[in-house]
């Protein structure tokens, strides 16, 4: 297999009335079907470690058939309510990118723009989900656009979120996700310096062997992604090639 896929989800649920960007919500029924499809169509759902192993491996190394990883951005409460029961039943690994300075609160970074306040997982839920097998990773402290920050402020978001999540959860935090997909050379370098193994963007596309692990593509699944579009994204879509390491 010459490529791997990392899927991005935000909310699993119904959008509240008046919410902007209702596409960020995938209905629980559609999500369930999508997960069953992955299994039925012969995809192997792997952890982010599996994706990084794939990226860093030589071309002749064999990998699980059709590797796909599942990521959830922002750490919403509806992950616990609507996504995890399905994933747990299927035995699928999953990673949730949490905004460590907002855990237990709401989406203060975009609630005005989206016209909706969404509940975020609290530390008790994170601890319980971790014990049940969910992996957590960093999506900064406060969800800023990292290209608007430099120096200590940038350092606080990247190093600080890793330290906070590791301290509160008692697990190693190896992965990072850029808020809004915004990053530049300074932020990507700092993510690497902080000890993360890889970082994920919002650039649409598959992951290929030899990709820069700090600029990995993903494929976003939205409410508008019907069954045919879901199958297309998994089987045929390649998207933008990631930049190669310098
Ligand atoms: Zn986000």
Measured in angstroms, how far is the CA atom of residue 107 from the centroid of ligand 1?
A: 9
- Rounded to the nearest whole angstrom, what is the distance from the C-alpha of residue 5 to the centroid of ligand 1? 19
Q: 3-235 is classed in which CATH architecture? A: Alpha-Beta Barrel (3.20)
Q: What is the pLDDT of residue 230?
A: 95
Which of 64, 34, 37 has the alpha carbon at shortest distance from 49? 64
Q: CA end-to-end span of the chain, whole Å?
A: 25
Cα of 74 to ligand 1 centre, how many Å?
Answer: 5
CA of 179 to the centre of ligand 1 (A): 5
What does the alpha-carbon distance between residue 83 and residue 2 come to, in Å, rounded to a whole number?
A: 29
Give SS3 for 215. Answer: coil
Question: How high is the pLDDT of residue 242?
Answer: 58
Q: Are the C-beta atoms of 42 and 65 separated by less than 8 Å? A: yes
Q: What is the mean pLDDT of each run of 10 residues along the chain (246 residues)?
A: 91 91 93 97 96 86 86 97 98 98 94 92 97 98 96 96 95 96 96 98 93 96 94 84 54
Q: What is the pLDDT of residues 102-159, one digit of tens each?
A: 999 999 999 988 999 999 999 999 999 999 999 999 999 999 999 999 999 999 999 9
Is residue 91 helix, strand or coil? coil
Domain ranges of the chain: 3-235
Round to whole Å and give the CA distance between 54 and 65: 11
Q: How far away, in angstroms, is 73 Cα from ligand 1 center?
A: 5
Spatial contact of 141 and 164, defined as CB atoms under 8 Å apart: yes
157 in Cβ contact with 172 (< 8 Å): no
């Amino acid at each position: 297999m010459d490529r791997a896929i990392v899927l991005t989800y935000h909310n699993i649920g119904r959008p509240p009335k008046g919410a902007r960007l209702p596409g960020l919500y995938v209905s629980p029924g559609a999500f369930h079907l999508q997960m069953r499809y992955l299994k039925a169509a012969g995809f192997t759902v792997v952890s982010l470690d599996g994706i990084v192993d794939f990226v860093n491996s030589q071309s002749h190394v064999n990998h699980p058939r059709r590797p796909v990883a599942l990521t959830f951005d922002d750490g919403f409460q509806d992950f616990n309510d609507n996504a995890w029961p399905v994933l747990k039943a299927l035995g699928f690994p999953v990673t949730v990118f949490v905004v460590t300075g907002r855990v237990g609160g709401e989406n203060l970074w975009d609630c005005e723009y989206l016209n909706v306040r969404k509940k975020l997982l609290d530390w008790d839920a994170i601890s319980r989900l971790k014990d049940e097998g969910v992996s957590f990773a960093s999506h900064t402290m406060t969800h800023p656009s990292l290209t608007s920050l430099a120096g200590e402020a940038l350092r606080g978001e990247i190093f600080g979120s890793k330290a906070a999540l590791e301290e509160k959860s008692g697990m190693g935090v190896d992965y990072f996700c850029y808020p809004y997909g915004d990053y530049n050379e300074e932020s990507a370098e700092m993510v690497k310096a902080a000890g993360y193994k890889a970082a994920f963007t919002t650039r649409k596309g598959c992951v290929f062997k030899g990709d820069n692990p700090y600029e990995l593509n993903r494929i976003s699944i939205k409410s508008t992604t019907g069954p045919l579009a879901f199958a297309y994204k998994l089987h045929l879509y390649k998207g933008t090639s990631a930049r190669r390491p310098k």
